[in-house]
Amino acid sequence: MRLSIQGVVDSIGERTGTPFEVVMPDGARHRTGAGEPRFSIVLRGEAALVAAFTRGHIGLLEAWFDGKIDVEGDLGALFAAGMTGFEQLESHAVTKVENDLLEWRTSNRDPARARANARAHYGLGTDFYRLWLDDPLMMYTCGYWPEGTATLEQAQRNKIDHVCRKIRLEAGERFVDIGCGFGGFMFRAAETTGATGVGVNTTTEQVDWLRGEIDRRGLQDRLAVREADFREVDAQYDKVVSIGVLEHAGRDQLADVVRAHAGFLKPGGLGMLHFIGHVGRYDTELFIRKHVFPGGWIPSLAEVLVEMERCGLEIVDIENLRRHYAPTLDAWAERFQRNWEAIRALDPGRFDERFRRIWLTYLIGCAEMFRSPAGYTHLFQIVFSKGNVTRENYPMGRGFLYAGEGEAQGSGHGH
């Protein structure tokens, strides 16, 4: 067994180019690569070994969550290596059956199930998210890091301003923010453009907090929030913003959710769809939908474009911000780890060591996924119109997208 394990370790090491070691329950060490190991995988019992060989990387991860494995050293190096080197441990048939079953069980086809799925993640509480998101906007989506951006706060302000420029949001217009989260986009957009807006959110905890915050700021005449499923269209708006919502639609609900985006928009209006998407058709990672985002599903860019075309939407612009997600996740992970004791103190029963390990896998693992030069998971922003744009309602060049960008970023070193 040890010889075969050493062979597996060496094979993974050759593909990743990363020195690491595996420590067996009896203390035997299997090292690979030149130099000191970047990380050590410490097996606490034979069950962890069985999990790795029968269920691949998901078996290894869940053994770590359950304390059957410990990891010492650089978690980022471990997850980066896992992107390219651990596929030989995969049991694709077993993982696919589990993934398909999970998708069927947690489908968003029923609005009540969709609401429960959203609350499982976004209902963890404002106090929890405040400890590691940007202050004060608490934007829980990819930031925008052009050269000169130094902080997470700058990156999130940059992102909101970038979106406002993309949809030409102006004073006197009314916008809808589908999946508005903690309202960061709404507050900054209203402040910087003079527009008024309505947020749509399925998570009771966020809606209650946001209503209180709107009242506290005295913005009841300019902003409002509606607790509703994203498919429930109540009115048409001059502009539509959707930031990080489409990933929660589900495979069978993609058409309905895109159709709702079209339904929210007035003829001649502009909208912006910001979502994580695959280049090509791939299964959504089992870990993410099982442990982090129940009901989540990552569509391909092509699938989204087809549904948008069916709804009569013109695609005006597509920008890929994949590279911007890695520094966003890096910042979240650093703050999460730095503030872990404060997070744990909020609710020790919920925010326990298992939770910490799952969320580190999510934050650090996703950072490495978006950083990977060989990855197929990207971050798209699609600007769309209801009816074809004209010379009169949309500029003929792209210069307006970047006008004033340097001033918005502020000073500082690149991230």
CA 151 to chain centre: 19
Other C-beta atoms closer than 10 Å to the C-beta of 121 total 15
Interstrand relation of 196-201 and 69-73 (parallel, antiparallel or unpaired): unpaired
Interstrand relation of 265-278 and 237-243 (parallel, antiparallel or unpaired): parallel
In 244-286, beta strands by DSSP E: 265-278
As a whole number of angstroms, the distance between CA 83 and CA 80 comes to 5
Alpha-carbon distance values, 144 to 186, 373, 404 (Å):
17, 19, 14
Is the Cβ–Cβ distance between 184 and 206 less than 8 Å? Answer: no
Residue positions annotated with a catalytic role: 366
As a whole number of angstroms, the distance between CA 128 and CA 343 comes to 6
Q: Is the dihedral of CA 147, 370, 363, 25 positive or negative?
A: negative
